[in-house]
Amino acid sequence: MSRIGKKPVELPDGVSASVSGQTIEVKGPKGTRSFRAADDVTITVEDNVVKITPRGTSKRARQQWGMSRTQIANLVTGVTSGFKKELEIRGVGYRAALQGNTLKLLLGYSHDVLFDIPKGVTVTCPKPTQIVVEGIDQQEVGQVAAEIRAWRKPEPYKGKGIRYVGEFVRQKAGKKK
């Protein structure tokens, strides 16, 4: 039995869900998101509660049960409060700035890195060494944050680079005389 799948997903005030076939559409104050579940599960909406039940006892049905419940819970979270990833830049001369729909990164290369921000994601720079990525789709927010971080991952000797806020980077010892 799936411990995650058994829990129903409650819809807060201002959020509505509609099911048509295997597709559930969730509308909220921040926008609309939809998810198409596998044929192994059944989705029902009753009294502001979304319930997911497996259609059999096969291993795949049980796997899809918990995964579908989590995906629907993420839809509800996305349209109510949204998702957020914070990045910090460490290094002398390393900084970020917004220019319209482009993020300009100065990361010690011979050229500036220009990163085009995709639709559905909001990027802000409260400080020159801080980047905040926000949106209603958890996967998109995480992907954009990972692509920004990939331009200069934190290195283990001085700790320079782009890291998530709160990320621990183990420091290595340098050369010894």
The ranges of the chain with pLDDT < 70 are 1-2
Closest CA to 90 of 159, 140, 20: 159
- C-alpha 146/C-alpha 87 separation (Å) is 10
* E-only strand ranges, the chain: 9-10, 16-20, 23-28, 31-36, 41-46, 49-54, 83-90, 95-99, 102-106, 113-116, 121-124, 130-135, 161-164
pTM for the predicted model, two decimal places: 0.87
Topology at the third CATH level for domain 3-80? Outer Surface Protein A; domain 3 (3.90.930)
How is 39-90 classified by DSSP, letter by letter?
Answer: TTEEEEEETTEEEEEESSSSHHHHHHHHHHHHHHHHHHHHHHT-EEEEEEEE
- Here the tokens at position 104 are 């300009």
If one looks up domain 83-164 in CATH, what number appears? Answer: 3.90.930.12
Please state the φ and ψ torsions of residue 141, each to the nearest 5 degrees.
-60, -45
Q: Where in the chain is the domain with CATH 3.90.930.12?
A: 3-80, 83-164
Q: What is the pLDDT of residues 84-113, one digit of tens each?
A: 999 999 999 999 999 999 999 999 999 999
pLDDT at 1 (0 to 100): 57
